[in-house]
């Protein structure tokens, strides 16, 4: 059965499996900072010194504008994010991180971007090969 499975199928399933093995604890990690996974995602998308309009955030999150209102309400109430009116268009609210938000973002991202130990245990050749392949996949 497994011998007849195509390589792309096999690779994809292994990749999915690996990813979920590593990601199973994202909610736990997020809750360390009293954040939900979605809130971590939002903090990631709002870059320091790069305000983003609410609508752009909704696009990036691929969700409804009203949902973003709630997400931002809660982060704003925690002093992590600020709404700012846009100078160009009075309908638009721009979102920026507060200094506290910048600090928390940095801490959270440091944790989230930490590679799994298993990646460090690959040989240098394997690591290089993996990076090369992944770059090609993203082209």
Partner DNA sequence: CATCAATAGTTGACAATATCAACTATATGC
Partner DNA sequence: GCATATAGTTGATATTGTCAACTATTGATG
Task: By CB under 7 A, name the one of 58, 60, 102, 112 that touches DNA.
Answer: 58
Contacts (CB under 8 A) with a second copy, residues 21-40: 21, 24, 27
Residues 38 and 52: their CA atoms lie apart, in Å, by 17
* Candidate ranges 16-24, 48-56, 115-123, 127-135; the one touching DNA (CB under 7 A): 48-56
Partner touching 6 among a second copy, DNA, none, CB below 5 to 8 Å by kind: a second copy
Residue ranges binding a second copy (CB under 8 A): 6-19, 21, 24, 27, 62, 113-116, 118-120, 122, 124, 126-131, 133-139
């Amino acid at each position: 059965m497994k011998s007849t499975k195509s390589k792309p199928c096999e690779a994809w399933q292994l990749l999915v499996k690996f990813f979920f093995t590593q990601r199973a604890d994202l909610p736990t990690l997020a809750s360390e900072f009293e954040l939900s996974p979605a809130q971590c995602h939002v903090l990631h998308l709002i870059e320091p010194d790069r305000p983003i309009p609410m609508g752009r955030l909704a696009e990036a999150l691929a969700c409804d504008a009203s949902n973003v209102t709630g997400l931002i309400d809660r982060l704003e109430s925690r002093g992590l994010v600020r709404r700012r009116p846009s100078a160009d268009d009075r309908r638009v609210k721009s979102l920026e991180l507060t200094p506290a938000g910048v600090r928390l973002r940095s801490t959270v991202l440091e944790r989230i971007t930490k590679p799994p130990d298993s990646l460090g245990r690959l040989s240098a050749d394997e690591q290089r090969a993996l990076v090369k392949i992944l770059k090609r996949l993203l082209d």
